[in-house]
Structure 1
Amino acid sequence: MKILFIVGPTASGKTELGIKICRRIKGEIISADSRQIYKYMDIGTAKPLNPEVPHYLIDIKDPKERYSAYEFYLDAKRCIEDILKRGKRPVVVGGTGLYIRALTEGLFPQPRISPEVKERLLEELKEKGIEALYHELEKVDPEAASKIHPRDRQRIVRALEVYRGTGIPISQFWKKKIDTGIEPVYIGIGWERKELYWRIEERVKRMVESGWVDEVRNLLSMGYSPSDPGFSSVGYREVVGFIEGRYSEEIMIKLIVKKTKEYARRQIMWFRKLPVHWLSPDTLGSLSGISD
Structure 2
Amino acid sequence: MESVHGDPKHTVTLNNGVTMPLLGLGTFRLQGCENVSQAVDAALDCGYRSFDTASVYRNEGDLGQALRKCLPKYGLTRADIFITTKLAPVDLGNNAHEACLRSIKELGCDYVDLFLIHWPGKQGWRSDDKRNEKAREESWKAMEDLYRSDVIKAIGVSNYTKRHLSELLISCFVPPAVLQVEFHPRLPQLDLLDWCKTHGVHLQAYSSLGCGDLLKDDKVIKVANFHGRSPSQILLRWALRQGVGVIPKASTYERIKENIDVWNFELNDEEAEFLQRDCIEKRCCWDPTGVA
Fold match (TM-score > 0.5):
no
TM-score (norm 1): 0.28
TM-score (norm 2): 0.28
Higher helix share: 1
Question: Larger Rg: 1 or 2?
Answer: 1
